[in-house]
Amino acid sequence: MNKYLLKYIAFCFIVMLLGSCNDSESDLLEPKVYFENKEYVIEVTDAEAMTHDLQARVSSLYSSSVEVFYEVADPSIVAAYNKKYGTEYETFEASNVKLGSGSSVVPDGQVYAEQVSLQFSNLKSIEEGKSYLLPVRIKSASLPIIEGRDIVYFVVTKPVRIMKVAKVYSNYIKVPLVPGTLFSSITYEALINVDWFGNNNTVMGCEGKLIFRIGDTPLVAANHLQIAGNKEFSVSQGLEEQKWYHVAFSYDQPTGKAVIYINGEKASEATWDTPNFDLTANAGGFFIGKVAGFMWGERPFYGQMSEVRLWNISRTENQIKQNMITVDPKSEGLAAYYKLNGTDQFQDGDTWKVKDASGHGMDGLVNGGRSALNIIDLDEPVTIK
């Protein structure tokens, strides 16, 4: 082929490429409509109704006004959201939502649309601890809409107020796991508030197999969370005294992923290849608060506890974060659940026990059955910050 013809073809290709780049740049610079925030949390109090502002925007200034139309999205959006993020939100009923207006305008020379009121009603019917999701969509606009930013999610929740907790000073609960019970994937969870750190403070688990504890000096600082047993790892951040935390550990056997969470956030992780865990009495027993009768020291916890849970599945980060203060007792994979609020403590004859809120009959033996847990009243509800 003639070398001049080759140069001509190459020149034409470059011109076409530059033209394509200019088109892409022009497309990126074109003003588009979207929601600036993806999610809002509406915490319900005792009010019957609450109002929140809804506001779309354009990505850049436009030479004329822009009209935007809104609608409450279909409930299938909630199902898709739960599947994508591993959450368990229920759909907030559209009949309990009223848009002040179905449309708003972005004035000429501005980027924010006029605010539209979104009223939530019938809120007194919401149960404590339940969370609902309401998706609101930009239905249409006089400019293009940014795909994926056309929906804003409102999380409507009524927080549980925990005002009674167990004061665990060398007290303990023994979980009656049935001999032969094996855990492949597993999750531990608890709300804790430490009064003071010792050399080794037991949160929960089976010593030597899979124990969730705080400190193991000199190897682990006295205020650092650690999971230990057949394998172990710890976190690098320390806990503070007289402060509430939600702490969790999860192990997913199929992926080998082991994670320690603090307040719903990953604090440390590792990769394991453990086939299963025997946490029954045959392996030493599963304890909460201290390891009673352990030959090298019982390693008691000194502080307050609430919402202690054992799962036979690996809970996701979003599931843990969404359910720190409470969880549905009927949740899949919940093996044992101790609320430790005083109402779940009872005597079976002369034996003290704490009821398993999951309904699986795993009522815990308190202090060997000899004495009750010390339940205290709080001046303000448990808050995770």
Walking along the chain (385 residues) 10 residues at a time, the average pLDDT comes out as 46 44 51 96 89 96 95 96 92 95 95 96 89 95 95 93 95 95 97 94 96 93 96 96 98 97 98 94 94 92 98 96 93 97 94 97 97 96 92
Q: How far is CA 375 from CA 94, 109, 139, 158, 366, in A?
A: 41, 61, 53, 24, 13
Instruction: Answer yes or no: pTM beyond 0.75.
Output: yes
Which amino acid appears at position 98 of this protein? K
Per DSSP, the residues of 219-243 read TEEEEEEEEEESS-EE-SSPP-TT-
Identify which of 140, 129, 130, 137 has the alpha carbon closest to the alpha carbon of residue 153: 137
Q: Given 122, 157, 192, which residue is the final one in a domain?
A: 157
Q: Given 125, 157, 189, which residue is the final one in a domain?
A: 157
Residues 257 and 365 in one domain: yes
Q: What domain range is 41 assigned to?
A: 33-157
142: CATH: 2.60.40.1740
**Secondary structure element (H or E) that encloses residue 77, with its range:** helix 76-85
Residues 348 and 208 in one domain: yes
Q: How far apart are CA 5 and CA 1, in angstroms?
A: 7
Residues 230 and 277 in one domain: yes
Residues 306 and 222 in one domain: yes
Residue 15 lies in a domain: no
Residues 191 and 213 in one domain: yes
User: How many Cβ atoms from other residues are within 10 Å of residue 249's Cβ?
Assistant: 27
**Secondary structure element (H or E) that encloses residue 26, with its range:** helix 3-29
Residues 350 and 203 in one domain: yes
CB contact burial 104-126 (16+ within 10 A = b; e otherwise): bebeeeebebeebebebbebeeb
pLDDT score of 287 = 98
Residue 297 lies in a domain: yes
pLDDT score of 81 = 96
Q: Given 157, 173, 206, which residue is the final one in a domain?
A: 157
Residue 204 lies in a domain: yes
Residues 105 and 194 in one domain: no
Q: How far apart are CA 280 and CA 276, in angstroms?
A: 12
Residues 133 and 193 in one domain: no
Residues 344 and 201 in one domain: yes
358: CATH: 2.60.120.200
In degrees rounded to 5, what are phi and psi of residue 247? Answer: -120, 145
Identify which of 356, 360, 306 has the alpha carbon closest to the alpha carbon of residue 332: 360
Residue 3 lies in a domain: no
Residues 151 and 176 in one domain: no
Quick check: 329 and 337 in contact, CB under 8 A? yes
Residues 254 and 310 in one domain: yes
Domain tally, the chain: 2
Residue 2 lies in a domain: no
Q: How far is CA 2 from CA 8, 13, 15, 257, in A?
A: 10, 17, 20, 61
pLDDT score of 12 = 46
Residue 105 lies in a domain: yes
Residues 169 and 153 in one domain: no
